[in-house]
Amino acid sequence: MYFAFEALGLVDALHRKVFAAVHVQRQRFDKDAEIAAWVSANGADGAKVVETMKSFAVATKTRQANNWPRPTASTACRRWHPRPLPDLAVDRRLAGARAADASQLIQLSKKS
């Protein structure tokens, strides 16, 4: 919905309201009719929002957002995200440089 709101210039008017509807009131927006009814009840053209959600521009933005790298333990994403664990020096040897997670860090520190 956000990208449709953005395309129609409705972010300022509806973003906080839809956030509250989803996270506070636990409202679900599973069907186009539910979205259109909610948007209409909040002062905008519900049919236009649903139509815009199905547009090429919104689909492209959604696809780009879904392809954005997310932090994971995989080495492929480490170049975009800092390591969550600090390096650990044990007996003047650096153990954390080879650790992928906390359990591996503990094992490496025991070996040192």
Number of domains the chain contains: 2
Please give the helix or strand (H or E) that residue 106 lies within, else none: helix 102-111
Same domain, 82 and 35: no
pLDDT digits (tens, 9 = 90+) for 42-70: 999 999 999 999 999 999 998 888 887 66
Query: CA dihedral defined by 22, 72, 104, 87, rounded to 10 degrees?
Result: -100
Tell me how long the chain is.
Answer: 112
* Enclosing domain of residue 16: 2-66
Query: Averaged over 29-47, what is the pLDDT?
Result: 95
Contact 108, 98 (CB under 8 A): yes
Same domain, 78 and 110: yes
